[in-house]
Amino acid sequence: QKEVEQDPGPLSVPEGAIVSLNCTYSNSAFQYFMWYRQYSRKGPELLMYTYSSGNKEDGRFTAQVDKSSKYISLFIRDSQPSDSATYLCAMSFNTGGFKTIFGAGTRLFVKA
Amino acid sequence: NAGVTQTPKFRILKIGQSMTLQCTQDMNHNYMYWYRQDPGMGLKLIYYSVGAGITDKGEVPNGYNVSRSTTEDFPLRLELAAPSQTSVYFCASELSRGPTTYSNQPQHFGDGTRLSIL
């Protein structure tokens, strides 16, 4: 079993739709949860990060962490064609070590 | 502000050849990382460094070497290229990481080096 599972997609939605991207994980010691966006032939860039459980909102993006279910989500409201990219979830431990575990990424296409 | 710069962007090697992937950052970040990204596999950590003169192995270090003689540069060396090393390589840097200062300290990635071993 992988430490982090993420559906690779692709996920295709019409412009303006609400997008839900998800990851599950197996290690309950993870404390920091991140979402990166990666455009084609570019490096990942950090979109959102959260510590422990709860929600965090930034503009059209909302990150949600449910530690009891070992499940994290990224919601994109009013999706735009410019949101078309691969979204990677990532998580790491609270202290010590330098290990960040990345999901395989979900490819998202937003159609105009 | 260039951020993290990787060179070359593309390279084709023959089996057994060697090469160095260059990475430099101008943000005065202490921590630097090398990852490889394979289709459907996510990012795997190869090596990392917490500062000049200090390096350590990540999850998949075999076949690679690194050095960190300056804060800015973190080159990755392939000594005997093998087809299994065909991948996209990303370098990343981070200002710091501590028990209570993780927030607002994301990893900054370069745009990658696409390497094919034939």
Cβ distance A98 to B42 less than 8 Å, yes or no, reads no
Tell me: pLDDT of B98 over 50: yes
Distance of alpha carbon A38 from the chain centroid? 11
DSSP for residue A105 = -
Flag whether residue B111 sits within 8 Å of chain A, measured between CB atoms: yes
Largest CA distance in chain A: 45
Taking only the tens place, the pLDDT of each residue in A5-14 is 998 889 999 9
Per-residue confidence at B36, pLDDT binned at 50, 70, 90?
very high
Give the position of tokens 């960040």: A100
Confidence of residue B95 (pLDDT cuts 50, 70, 90): confident
Q: Does the pLDDT value for residue B103 go beyond 50?
A: no
Identify the closest residue of chain B to A106 by CA–CA distance.
B40
pLDDT band at residue A52, thresholds of 50, 70 and 90? confident
**Cβ of residue A95 closer than 8 Å to a chain B Cβ:** yes
**Nearest-CA distance B103 → chain A (Å):** 8
Q: Which of residues 11-40 of B touch A (CB under 8 A)?
A: 31, 33, 40
Report the alpha-carbon distance of residue A30 to residue A87 in Å, rounded: 19
Q: How far apart are the first and last CA of chain B?
A: 36
Residue of B nearest to A32 (CA): B102
Backbone angles phi, psi at B21, to 5 degrees: -90, 125
Q: How far apart are CA A45 and CA A56, in angstroms?
A: 17
**What is the SS3 assignment for B84?**
helix
Taking only the tens place, the pLDDT of each residue in A73-109 is: 999 999 999 999 999 999 887 554 567 889 999 999 9
Q: Alpha-carbon distance A76 to B73, whole Å?
A: 36
- What pLDDT is stored for residue B97 in this prediction? 59
Q: CA dist A50 to A31, A66, A91, B105, B113, Å?
A: 8, 11, 10, 12, 29
- Give chain A's end-to-end CA distance (angstroms, integer): 37
